[in-house]
Amino acid sequence: MRSPPIPEMATQEVQLSETLAHLKTESDTLKGKLEEERAKLHDVELHQVAEKVEGLGQFVMKTRRTLKGHGNKVLCMDWCKDKRRIVSSSQDGKVIVWDAFTTNKEHAVTMPCTWVMACAYAPSGCAVACGGLDNKCSVYPLSLDKNENLAAKKKSVAMHTNYLSACSFTNSDMQILTSSGDGTCALWDVESGQLLQSFHGHAADVLCLDLAPSETGNTFVSGGCDKKANVWDMRSGQCIQSFETHESDINNSSEADREVAIYSKESIIFGVSSVDFSLSGRLLFGGYNDYTINVWDVLKGTRVSILFGHENRVSTLRVSPDGTAFCTGSWDHTLRTWA
């Protein structure tokens, strides 16, 4: 058995490094071209375009309901399409469904793991999905019979190789989109548990995702610890566009086509953990680590209000489906609805 002659191996290695160098040059050129294209199109700032728009007046928004019941930090919440029910999940391992008008708890499920970081309401209102440190996303059909043990009907849908950070049903109860600490996002068929599409491209944990709002929506955006926000085509699994932004992890994302404005104010030094737009998109609500909620005028780029109430970090924030209120969840174990 003769080992390959040394000169031949050396040639192969040289060829390899030449190809690598060539590819590196090509990729640097492309990156440069992309930056150039983007810079050319950045002809104006959003707030300049919106100069003539009437400013917003004073806002009277306060806590209207406080939902108490979780035994530890609230990590995630989602609204039901009926605009009154809410599902929330907590570090205490519990997932609770609430009637936000009356503050009554309608269902409660104890998960086999703590840190239930993600939860979502099905479009029909008949099921909820949740997961976290168990690396899974499970679906629980909701029963009208309050005495029924929900855990018995549990269906395991998604399996990741690290924690589940976010989940969302698509347009129907049939499909779920998930994001994970394993760096991927995935689309699953709820009935069979089959993986329909996986989305690779993040270099680190993916922390959040949001679907494009249109009826025929086929795209979603994900944000991760690699400081990238990626826009994906759900059918092909391809990353259509990637934005490098923020100084640290992207904890929350809202579907907008391009970064046209940055909402910041020198006096805010705490991170924002969660964001959502009002119905018309004019207001942006941000839940912060300093326990407050800041309300921004999206067009003008100015802060219009700061809301107090929570006694610890705000970890999750969502506007209701018809835009009449928004709900926040906090490390202070409670949820609040604001209007």
Partner 1 sequence: MTSNSNLSNMRRMVEQLKLEASVERIKVSQAAAELQQYCLQNASKDALLVGVPTGSNPFREPRSCAVV
> What does the alpha-carbon distance between residue 66 and residue 54 come to, in Å, rounded to a whole number?
34
Query: Which one of 9, 16, 126, 151 is in contact with partner 1 (CB under 8 A)?
Result: 16
Query: Which one of 9, 14, 24, 126 is in contact with partner 1 (CB under 8 A)?
Result: 24
Which string of DSSP letters, residue by residue, matches 274-292?
EEEE-TTS-EEEEEETTS-
Closest by CA position to 199, among listed 232, 169, 156: 232
Q: Edge-to-edge strands of the sheet including 185-189?
A: 164-169, 175-180, 185-189, 195-199
Instruction: Kindly give, in sequence order, each residue whose CB lies less than 8 Å from that of residue 263, ignoring residues fewer than 6 positions away.
Output: 284, 286, 296, 298, 301, 303
Kindly identify the residues of this chain, within the stretch 191-230, that bind partner 1 according to CB under 8 A.
201
User: Mask of contacts with partner 1, 241-270, x by CB under 8 A?
Assistant: xx-------------xxx-x----------
> What does the alpha-carbon distance between residue 203 and residue 229 come to, in Å, rounded to a whole number?
11
Kindly identify the residues of this chain, within the stretch 69-88, that bind partner 1 according to CB under 8 A.
84
User: Mask of contacts with partner 1, 155-194, x by CB under 8 A?
Assistant: ----------------------------------------
Strands (E), 68-152: 74-79, 85-90, 94-99, 105-110, 118-121, 127-131, 136-141
Q: Does 14 bind partner 1 (CB under 8 A)?
A: no
Nearer to partner 1, 175 or 230 (CB): 230
Strands 195-199 and 206-211: unpaired
CA 207 to chain centre: 7
Nearer to partner 1, 111 or 298 (CB): 298
Q: Does 68 bind partner 1 (CB under 8 A)?
A: no
Amino acid at residue number 82: D
Nearer to partner 1, 23 or 151 (CB): 23
User: Mask of contacts with partner 1, 118-157, x by CB under 8 A?
Assistant: ----------------------------------------
Residues within the interface to partner 1 (CB under 8 A):
13, 16-17, 19-20, 23-24, 26-27, 30-31, 33-34, 37-38, 41-46, 49-50, 53, 56, 60-61, 64-65, 84, 100-103, 201, 238-242, 256-258, 260, 278-283, 298-299, 319-320, 322-326, 337, 339
